[in-house]
Amino acid sequence: MSEPTDQEIVETAAEAAEGLVFARFANSAVTDLDITVGFDDGVLDVDVYLHTLEDAEADPEAVAEEAIEAAEKAVDELFA
């Protein structure tokens, strides 16, 4: 089995983070979402900025942290 490419790693992380956000919030509740993923020299860097409507059903900061963790886990699974 070959190692995943940097592009595959970045895409996997971004998709996992986005998937988690939209599993927690309805699309209409998310007013701004920015997911930045970098992979350089074997180091994954994920940043999630999330802004939601004030009456959203979950805490956006907590969900952003969960999204980062989901991205990291998804990338770990690529190497398993």
CATH of the domain at 43: 3.30.300.100
Any domain includes 65: yes
Q: What is the CA radius of gyration of the chain?
A: 13
pLDDT band for position 80 (cuts 50, 70, 90): confident
Count up the domains in the chain and report the number.
Answer: 1
Q: Residue 10 has which token pair?
A: 């970045």
Range of the domain at 12: 6-78
The per-residue pLDDT for range 18-49, each reduced to its tens digit, is 999 999 999 999 999 999 999 999 999 999 99
Any domain includes 40: yes
Any domain includes 61: yes
Any domain includes 1: no
**Helix H or strand E encompassing 40:** strand 30-40
